[in-house]
Amino acid sequence: MNSMERFVRSVRLVAPPMLAAFLCGAGASALAARPQDDKSKATEEKKDEKKDEKKEETLPLKTTHKISFTTDEGTWMSLDISPDGKQIVFDLLGDLYLIPAGGGEAKRITSGPAWDCQPRFSPNGRQIAFISDRNGSDNLWLINVDGSQIEGKEAKKVSEETDDQLGSPAWSPDGNYIVVRKYGQYPGPTDYLRYTSLWMFHKDGGKGVELVKSKGETTISSGAVFSADGKLVYFSSHAGRFQYNADIGRFQVMSFNRETSEVEKLTAEYGGGLRPIVSADGKWLVYASRQDAKTGLRIRDLGTREEHWLALPMQRDDQEGFAVNDVLPGYAFTPDSKAVIFTRDGHIQRVDLTTHQVAMIPFSAKVDLDLGPRVHTDYVIEDGPLVVHQMRWTNQSPDGKRIAFSAVGKIWVMDLPDGKPRRLTKTGGREYEPTFSPDGKWIAYVSWSDSDGGELWKIPVSGGSASKISTVAGYYSSPQWSSDGSKLLFVMGSRHGWLSEDGGGRESEQGEGERTELHAR
């Protein structure tokens, strides 16, 4: 999410409507007072109608000012093309826009402080499914393309999620169902870092059904799409939760058979298999992958299984990131199955399947954003002595007269009860995990350098020169003295293995000779 998106998106809350029920009765004596009762009854019925009316779901955010500008480019725009091939819908800064298929001036079709995104045309071209937080949570909504109301409202809410979030909608070929990705709130056991499953909702509403469970090889799934005949659902997924600094290629294209529930893995690309789409004639599968540092589109003949690059580069993927808004923004085949519409360099592009020629589809959008009050905090930058707010590995000497700790990457000691901290070492590197020897005369600690790795050291409590105990650079941690002070127990691992994946340590994810082991010296 770019800085503008972070600026305009807000937290939303919704108050549920109140319901009331009334009991009415009549006796013999009431007949004489019928005109008055009729009036009271009419008044009560009006009250009932008002109480039964559902309040329009809006956000509590009160807008205070507006910014307006015109742009011909955007960031992370999801798009789709209408079944008749005449219009393209796309999202831009939380609103939806329509343009002619050949390009032109964009018409805004949603507005307000809500964040509307990821639009998809229905198979009959009359409605657009999209994701919006206008009720406080990312739910599935519908609007009519012609601007008319649905059940008396501008938009219809299909899902009723309050704790979970939905994303990346796609219609079934018959236009009755919509598949979405679903995950829980962050942080939590089912948030987008640990759990993303595929669910299917009927267009008229309901609780939905889980289509592809979040487990095993499909723990984290990206946006899905139906096959032309509706029997298969194509998506990309990977096993295991999110990890920092993980290699690319975890996401691969898969298919789910709606009749047998069988999941089949279709790709094994080094650069991954991302966000697949299928042509209307059922002949072509297109998905994104990475070639070196560039994301591009690959196309596969579903009959022969032959494939090649279709367009390179395109919008950069997010397969190493959190992928909250999916690993790629939405893109689409043209209805005649002869081209693909996608985004690159902030613009909408069209690539021909036969010639591989790429042409830009220009647009101009008038953006009007209603913004809430500015959130601003003044921070005072002190220019005097640094106030340390976090001391790590604090431990007390055996005689209880002083403590040692690490702060701002250096080792410090302080006499108790009210002494002043003094730096113990004189080196220029980063120093951590100080620990006193049993006799209180020495402190052992570890150092670290991103370029050279770490070492194990000891230094007199009174200060002076530090002595290096380790003989090779590596990853050193948790030094502990033996009871007689003659040996040190410590954890050691490869410096390269540690840098390759932060917080790794699992043997299955480390190379030969890169295990973390216990040592004594």
Q: What would the two tokens of residue 67 be?
A: 């910014």
Select the more confidently predicted residue: 465 or 20: 465
Type of residue found at 303: G
For the entire predicted model, the pTM comes to 0.71
Task: Judge whether residue 501 has pLDDT over 80.
Answer: no
Region 240-251 average pLDDT: 89
Split at pLDDT 50, 70, 90, the class of 354 is: very high
Q: Closest Cα partner for 349 from 335, 337, 334?
A: 334
Structure confidence at residue 61 (pLDDT): 82
Structure confidence at residue 498 (pLDDT): 55
Query: Which homologous superfamily is 392-520 in?
Result: TolB, C-terminal domain (2.120.10.30)
DSSP 386-436: ------EEEEE-TTSSEEEEEETTEEEEEETTTPPPEE----SSEEEEEEE
* Cα–Cα separations (whole angstroms), residue 357 to 290, 327, 350: 20, 25, 8
Q: Where are the domains of the chain?
A: 3-52, 65-371, 392-520
Q: Is 2.120.10.30 the CATH number for 65-371?
A: yes
Structure confidence at residue 57 (pLDDT): 63
Region 298-324 average pLDDT: 95
The answer to whether residues 446 and 454 touch, using CB atoms and an 8 Å cutoff, is: yes
Structure confidence at residue 244 (pLDDT): 84
Query: Which residue shows structure tokens 């796609």?
Result: 170
Per-range mean pLDDT, top range of 30-39, 181-190, 388-397:
388-397
The answer to whether residues 90 and 81 touch, using CB atoms and an 8 Å cutoff, is: no
Split at pLDDT 50, 70, 90, the class of 44 is: low
CB-based contacts of 394, cutoff 8 Å, min separation 6? 403, 404, 405
Compute the distance between CA of residue 111 and CA of residue 140 in angstroms, rounded to an integer.
16
Region 351-356 average pLDDT: 98
CA atoms within 13 A on the CB side of 372: 15
Query: Which residue shows structure tokens 């790794």?
Result: 504
Structure confidence at residue 191 (pLDDT): 85
Structure confidence at residue 9 (pLDDT): 42
Structure confidence at residue 98 (pLDDT): 98
Compute the distance between CA of residue 90 and CA of residue 108 in angstroms, rounded to an integer.
10
Query: Which residue shows structure tokens 């990346």?
Result: 168
Structure confidence at residue 92 (pLDDT): 98
Compute the distance between CA of residue 333 and CA of residue 351 in angstroms, rounded to an integer.
10
φ/ψ of residue 49, rounded to 5: -60, -40
Region 62-88 average pLDDT: 96
Compute the distance between CA of residue 195 and CA of residue 267 in angstroms, rounded to an integer.
22
Can you list the pairs that 101-104 forms with residues at least 24 positions away whose Cβ atoms lie under 8 Å? 101/361, 102/361, 103/348, 103/360, 103/361, 103/362, 103/363, 104/362, 104/363, 104/364
Type of residue found at 11: V
Q: With pLDDT > 70 as the criterion, what percentage of the chain qualifies?
A: 84
End-to-end CA gap in the chain: 49
Q: With pLDDT > 90 as the criterion, what percentage of the chain qualifies?
A: 71
CA atoms within 13 A on the CB side of 249: 8
Split at pLDDT 50, 70, 90, the class of 19 is: very low
**Residue 221's beta-bridge partner residues?**
237
Split at pLDDT 50, 70, 90, the class of 280 is: very high
Region 111-124 average pLDDT: 96
Region 442-460 average pLDDT: 95
Task: Judge whether residue 430 has pLDDT over 60.
Answer: yes
Coil, helix or strand for 503?
coil
**Residue 405's beta-bridge partner residues?**
412
The answer to whether residues 98 and 126 touch, using CB atoms and an 8 Å cutoff, is: no
Task: Judge whether residue 431 has pLDDT over 70.
Answer: yes
Split at pLDDT 50, 70, 90, the class of 495 is: confident
Longest dimension (CA), the chain: 108
Task: Judge whether residue 343 has pLDDT over 60.
Answer: yes
The answer to whether residues 184 and 167 touch, using CB atoms and an 8 Å cutoff, is: no
User: Is beta strand 339-344 parallel, antiparallel or unpaired with respect to 332-333?
Assistant: antiparallel
| Backbone φ/ψ region at 45: left (φ over 0), alpha (ψ -120 to 50), beta | alpha
Region 183-209 average pLDDT: 91
